[in-house]
Amino acid sequence: MLHSVRSPRLRAASRALRLAAALMWSCSAVFPAAAQSRPLDEPIRPLPDKLDVDPVRVALGKRLFFDTRFSRDGKVSCANCHDFGKGGADGRERSPGVDGRLGPANSPSVFNAVFNFRQLWNGKAQTLQDQVDMAIASPNVFDTNWDSILARLGRDAVLARAFRQAYPDGLTRRNVTDALVAFERTLVTPSRFDAWLRGNADAISAEEKQGYAKFKSYGCVACHQGINVGGNMFQVFGVVRPYLGRDGVEKESDLGRFLVTRRESDKHVFKVPSLRNVALTAPYFHDASARTLEEAVDVMIKYQLGRTAPKEDRALIVKFLHTLTGAPPPGAQPEPGQ
């Protein structure tokens, strides 16, 4: 909660200005003007260098992202499953929600999620707004409902006033969702590879460039391309041969998009994950069956591409994947105690 001897309006304005400045600083620092004049023509596209956001609503959404009042037991926030220190994921095989109940799949990263064409592994959520609603209703996440959330938030006079300042109709389900999504839209993580795509030849090393060349020549780029290096299509997990993780036993979560559509052709079909910040988000895949990035690369080459790759090639690809690591704007980082 925010406290100040100044008026809430002045404090909100001050925080909004600081956040806006931080967002602008982040983009200009990673993509200096001289580096933006010679973009490369590659299947992977750089992240946009400008953010169209309402800083007041973003600041409000940030407060909500770390607020445990969204959960039935008052102990779970969005940040529990999306740790900024772990690439926007949480480093666990499955994330505990209310009462410690585990979700069915490994938590995907919230970083750059705005660029995904669907949300969740099976694509059930078409938008970030849908994903918020699903998390609230899920017994394995927040296990509550909007009436309860709005009642709890409405008892916070400072927060209710902030909503009246940010939205004409104040604290509503639509506005709470909008503020959360506004904040999530700022969680964009420009990387060294983006700087290279924009023309800075020295942004990545010779070995990392070799790794990118291997990434393309082996065929990884067929699914992992575009702005988010993935996140823009569905694909069977196990194109060449079935993949059932470490134990070889099919679980309900392995059915993928079938759980949404109930079409046989959608069994084992998943949204292709973004590879941005992938070096930070182990364990990998929906079932967390790959514990290291090296193991994940090996699985992909064998099961998706039907190929084998020498250890040296796999190591080069891993080096390239590390160039996709970035960080959200400084103003988006959690405050002490959040």
Residue 223 annotated as part of some ligand binding site: yes
Residue 27 annotated as part of some ligand binding site: no
10 Å Cβ neighbour count for 220?
23
Among 251, 282, 283, 284, which Cα is nearest to 268's?
251
Strands 269-271 and 234-236: antiparallel
Please report the DSSP string for 307-322 in residue order: ----HHHHHHHHHHHH
- Look at the alpha carbons of 309, 310, 313, 314 in this order and tell me if their dihedral is positive or negative: positive
Peptide bond into 283 cis (omega under 30): yes
Among 283, 93, 296, 310, which Cα is nearest to 217's?
310
Residue 286 annotated as part of some ligand binding site: no
Backbone angles phi, psi at 292, to 5 degrees: -130, 160
Annotated binding site for heme c: 78, 81-82, 220, 223-224, 300
Annotated binding site: 78, 81-82, 220, 223-224, 300
